Amino acid sequence: NAGVTQTPKFRILKIGQSMTLQCTQDMNHNYMYWYRQDPGMGLKLIYYSVGAGITDKGEVPNGYNVSRSTTEDFPLRLELAAPSQTSVYFCASSYSAGQKRSYEQYFGPGTRLTVT
C-alpha cells in the first residue's frame, strides 16, 4: 500500500492564481482531512470528510474548497491564492466503523505552497 499520497510536493503561485492540491489514499479509510502547518503553529484543520459525498468545514476553511466524489480522493482547491495561504498542506485519513473508533490519522508527505 502506498498509504496517503499528495501531489505536487512543491508549488509557487502568484497572488490570485488558482490550483488544486491532490490527495489519494489506498487504505479504504472513510475519514479524510486537510490541514495546514505554519511554523510554530502546529496543525490547523481546514476541511474534513466522513465519507464520499460528505464534507464539512474545519477550523480555517476560508479561501479553500473541497470535494469528495470517491472514497480514495479528497482534493483541496485554492481559488484566489493569497500570501496568507503560504504554508505546508497535509492530507490525512483515518478509519471508523460503529463503536470501533481509532483516532490514528495517517498523513501524506505534504505540499509546500508559496504564494508571492
User: Which stretches of 14-86 are assigned E, i.e. beta strand?
Assistant: 19-25, 31-37, 43-51, 54-57, 64-66, 76-78
Residue 106 and residue 92 in contact, taking contact as beta carbons nearer than 8 Å: yes
96 near another protein (CB under 8 A): yes
Q: Does residue number 27 form part of the binding site for another protein (CB under 8 A)?
A: no
Phi, psi (rounded to 5 degrees) for 84: -65, -15
Check if the beta carbon of residue 93 is closer than 8 Å to that of residue 31.
Answer: yes
Judged by CB under 8 A, the chain residues 60 through 89 that form the site for another protein are: none
- Min dist CB 84 to another protein, Å, is 18
The residue from 59, 80, 82, 83 that contacts another protein (CB under 8 A) is 59
Applying CB under 8 A, the residues found at the interface with another protein are: 4, 31, 35, 40-45, 48, 50, 58-59, 90, 92, 94, 96, 101-110
